[in-house]
Amino acid sequence: MTTEYHDLIFERSQPGRTGASLPDSDVDAVDVQKKFAGHLLRDQPAELPEVDELQVVRHYTALSRKNHGIDNGFYPLGSCTMKYNPKINEDMANLDGFQFVHPYQPEETVQGSLQLMHELQEDLAEITGMDEVTLQPSAGAQGEWTGLMMVKAYHEQKGESRKKVLIPDSAHGTNPASATVAGFETVTIPSNEEGLVYVEELKKYVDDDTAALMLTNPNTLGLFEKDIVEIASIIHEAGGLLYYDGANANAILGKTTPGKMGFDIVHLNLHKTFTTPHGGGGPGAGPVGVKEKLIPYLPVPRIEKQGETYVFNSEYPQSIGRVKGYYGNFGMFVRAYTYIRTMGAEGLSEVSESAVLHANYLLKKLEPYFDVPYQQVCKHEFVISGARQKKLGVRTLDIAKRLLDFGYHPPTIYFPLNVEECMMVEPTETESKETIDAFAHVLGEIAREVEEEPEKVLEAPHTTVVGRLDEVQAARKPVLRYMSDKTQES
Ligand SMILES: *Cc1c(COP(=O)(O)O)cnc(C)c1O
């Protein structure tokens, strides 16, 4: 990456420069001084950059090029499913009828949008094996919280106040966080040496204070919990519920469903499995599906079909209420719906096959260079360990930094917590064999460097705009707003 001339100018603001010319006002001027002095008016004008349009375009274009995204490189971030977001999704979301719809419009003027949401609910119910779905939650974590609030309502309805939510040690960090926010105590369940739930151990933790078990299957190590049916019956017999973290459903689409495995509640991340943009690319969406016994507690309003008409229905007295303003992130529903309809049932089933094949292929290619803690067929992702490299003085963090030099986003590192020097890799089905081969080759090269010229890895990255950040300072004292030279001086 070269330093461009305009990177050399940090402060672009020039007093009086502007990128906009406003038409003459056609309303009477208000004397702001007189009307708001000492009340709403600032003492000083706001410190805003004064720049022309071209500077703004260059600024944002330059920023976008400093950022790594799925559209400019491989992004094998385990547990996050960074797969390609087809551009047809954007075309559909940008149709005038969807883009300019207003949440306060009367139902009869938004029948098409409601139909799309209703059909998406039905598709997701079928994909997960659930009876009903709400689209409201705007993230995976919010879906978890929504599900857990329903768990709470369900037990309370039966006159029980169960307090414990069981969560395996390999779970995603949002699971214990959501359970805590929902007012439960979390109990960590240890995995066995195969990386799976230790069934005999689990039994010791289950009692009549168990509200739910939260599980993801395949789990965060990319392994299928083969004892899931037995696990489900242990929890159900104790009167608890099973929550499925379906953020990454890439391995099960069209193959099996959480419903079949015995789960009662599922959330999905449209921004992972269903190709809606992820992170800075757009807001999330974390729909939640439930089995029949939990339907009364679903958030309202629910979108229903009455005869040939689609309606909002809030007549559910036991509902946990609204969990999001309006009806969820509608633009994401259009994208996910487009994806599901583009792929069709067979296409989605092929997604799982390819995702699993790609992960196993890459795992085999990396086996000569890295320790593989769990020697079994993986699902859509896998973990390897940099323990061998650590003995030579190079840590997984260094390997991740070195990958940046080759234009790759590193895999997830140091997660799950139960694997030493962990790297968690998810290639996804949308990558070509050539991309996967090239990535494996580069990781092999880095493993060789660790042995022969470790300083190259220890000092990485060499080609990025910035080198190693002080991550503690960046997290504790982030500089998040524009500061002109003047503000910095004062
Ligand atoms: C991403 C993820 C979540 C959380 O989803 P957000 O949309 O980031 O809140 C939960 N569980 C798993 C397994 C995930 O990968």
Ligand 1 centroid to Cα of residue 140, in Å, is 5
Residues with CB under 6 A from ligand 1: 79-80, 139-141, 172, 174, 216, 245, 247-248, 269, 284, 286
Question: Are the beta carbons of 286 and 280 closer than 8 angstroms?
Answer: no
pLDDT at 8: 63
- What are 309's strand-pairing partners? 306
Helix axes 433-452, 330-366, angle to 10 degrees: 50
pLDDT at 75: 96
Q: What torsion do the CA atoms of 94, 96, 102, 108 make, to the nearest 10 degrees?
A: -130
pLDDT at 5: 55
pLDDT at 490 over 60: no
Distances (CA, A) of 79 to 99, 146, 380, 435: 31, 21, 9, 19
Atom from ligand 1 closest to the CA of residue 269: 7
φ/ψ region of 321 (left if φ > 0, alpha if ψ in -120 to 50, else beta) reads left
Q: Read off the pLDDT of each residue in 190-196 and give the average, rounded to a whole number.
A: 89
The burial of 186, by beta-carbon neighbours within 10 Å (0-12 exposed, 13-18 middle, 19 or more buried), is given as: middle
Q: Where in the chain is the domain with CATH 3.90.1150.10?
A: 345-467
Q: Read off the pLDDT of each residue in 179-187 and give the average, rounded to a whole number.
A: 98
Distances (CA, A) of 182 to 186, 289, 365: 11, 18, 43
Atom from ligand 1 closest to the CA of residue 142: 9
Measured CA to CA, the distance from residue 138 to residue 270 in angstroms comes to 9
Peptide bond into 301 cis (omega under 30): yes
Q: What torsion do the CA atoms of 358, 364, 367, 369 make, to the nearest 10 degrees?
A: -70
Location of structure tokens 């085999």: 364
Structure-block tokens of residue 458: 């220890």
Structure-block tokens of residue 1: 């990456």
Ligand 1 centroid to Cα of residue 222, in Å, is 15
Location of structure tokens 């997604």: 351
What is the DSSP track for 323-367?
-SSBTB-HHHHHHHHHHHHHHHHHHHHHHHHHHHHHHHHHHHHHT
Measured CA to CA, the distance from residue 366 to residue 437 in angstroms comes to 10
Q: What is the pLDDT of residues 29-50, one digit of tens each?
A: 888 777 777 677 777 888 888 9
Ligand 1 centroid to Cα of residue 421, in Å, is 21
Average pLDDT, the chain: 93
Mutational pocket test of ligand 1: of 82, 216, 245, the residue with most ligand atoms within 8 Å of the beta carbon: 245
Measured CA to CA, the distance from residue 111 to residue 119 in angstroms comes to 12
Which protein residue has the closest C-alpha to ligand 1 atom 2? 247
Q: Read off the pLDDT of each residue in 395-412 and give the average, rounded to a whole number.
A: 97
Q: What is the pLDDT of residues 3-27, one digit of tens each?
A: 555 556 778 889 999 988 889 999 9
Q: Read off the pLDDT of each residue in 413-423 and give the average, rounded to a whole number.
A: 91
Measured CA to CA, the distance from residue 468 to residue 446 in angstroms comes to 18
pLDDT at 486: 59
Lowest mean pLDDT among 7-21, 97-111, 234-248, 378-392: 7-21
Q: What is the pLDDT of residues 266-311, one digit of tens each?
A: 999 999 999 999 876 679 999 999 999 999 999 999 999 999 999 9
Q: Read off the pLDDT of each residue in 211-229 and give the average, rounded to a whole number.
A: 94
pLDDT at 415: 87
Q: Where in the chain is the domain with CATH 3.40.640.10?
A: 89-342
pLDDT at 278: 85
Give the homologous superfamily in CATH for domain 345-467. Answer: Aspartate Aminotransferase, domain 1 (3.90.1150.10)
Calculate Rg over the CA atoms of the chain. 26
Q: How confident is the model at residue 155 (pLDDT cuts 50, 70, 90)?
A: very high
Ligand 1 centroid to Cα of residue 262, in Å, is 21
Measured CA to CA, the distance from residue 409 to residue 77 in angstroms comes to 7
φ/ψ region of 262 (left if φ > 0, alpha if ψ in -120 to 50, else beta) reads left
Peptide bond into 287 cis (omega under 30): no
Atom from ligand 1 closest to the CA of residue 271: 7
Nearest-CA neighbor of 285 among 120, 411, 90, 86? Answer: 120
Lowest mean pLDDT among 49-53, 184-188, 362-366: 49-53
Long-range interactions of 23-28: CB distance < 8 A, separation 24+: none
Ligand 1 centroid to Cα of residue 267, in Å, is 9
pLDDT at 425: 97
Q: Record the pTM.
A: 0.90
Query: Which amino acid appears at position 233 of this protein?
Result: S
Ligand 1 centroid to Cα of residue 304, in Å, is 28
Instruction: Please give the share of the chain, as a percent, with pLDDT higher than 70.
Output: 96
Structure-block tokens of residue 143: 């879906």
pLDDT at 6: 53
Measured CA to CA, the distance from residue 293 to residue 97 in angstroms comes to 36
Nearest-CA neighbor of 139 among 278, 240, 257, 34? Answer: 278
Ligand 1 centroid to Cα of residue 484, in Å, is 37
Q: What is the pLDDT of residues 71-127, one digit of tens each?
A: 889 999 999 999 999 999 999 999 999 999 999 999 999 999 999 999 999 999 999
Q: Pick the residue with more confidence: 487 or 445?
A: 445
pLDDT at 214 over 80: yes
Mutational pocket test of ligand 1: of 83, 145, 181, 269, the residue with most ligand atoms within 8 Å of the beta carbon: 269
Which protein residue has the closest C-alpha to ligand 1 atom 4? 140
Question: Are the beta carbons of 77 and 427 closer than 8 angstroms?
Answer: no
pLDDT at 204 over 70: yes
Regarding the domain delimited by 89-342, which CATH topology (the fold level of the hierarchy) does it fall under?
Answer: Aspartate Aminotransferase; domain 2 (3.40.640)
pLDDT at 1 over 60: no
Measured CA to CA, the distance from residue 269 to residue 359 in angstroms comes to 20
For 74-83, give one letter per residue: b (16+ CB within 10 A) or e. Answer: bbbbbbbbbb
Q: Read off the pLDDT of each residue in 466-486 and give the average, rounded to a whole number.
A: 82
Atom from ligand 1 closest to the CA of residue 144: 10
Could you count the other beta carbons within 10 Å of the beta carbon of residue 301? Answer: 17
Q: What are the residues whose beta carbons fall under 8 Å from the beta carbon of 450, sequence distance 6 or more? A: 389, 392, 394, 399, 457
Atom from ligand 1 closest to the CA of residue 286: 7
Could you count the other beta carbons within 10 Å of the beta carbon of residue 437? Answer: 13
Question: Are the beta carbons of 41 and 32 closer than 8 angstroms?
Answer: yes
Q: How confident is the model at residue 334 (pLDDT cuts 50, 70, 90)?
A: very high
Which protein residue has the closest C-alpha to ligand 1 atom 3? 140
Three-state DSSP state, 130: coil
Atom from ligand 1 closest to the CA of residue 80: 15
Ligand 1 centroid to Cα of residue 162, in Å, is 25
Measured CA to CA, the distance from residue 375 to residue 358 in angstroms comes to 16
pLDDT at 40: 76
Alpha carbon 469 to chain centroid, angstroms: 24
Ligand 1 centroid to Cα of residue 220, in Å, is 11
Ligand 1 centroid to Cα of residue 410, in Å, is 18
pLDDT at 281: 65
Kind of pairing between the strands at 210-215 and 265-268: unpaired
pLDDT at 402 over 90: yes
Measured CA to CA, the distance from residue 197 to residue 49 in angstroms comes to 55
Structure-block tokens of residue 187: 């109990």
Q: What is the pLDDT of residues 339-352, one digit of tens each?
A: 999 999 999 999 99
Q: Read off the pLDDT of each residue in 49-78 and give the average, rounded to a whole number.
A: 90
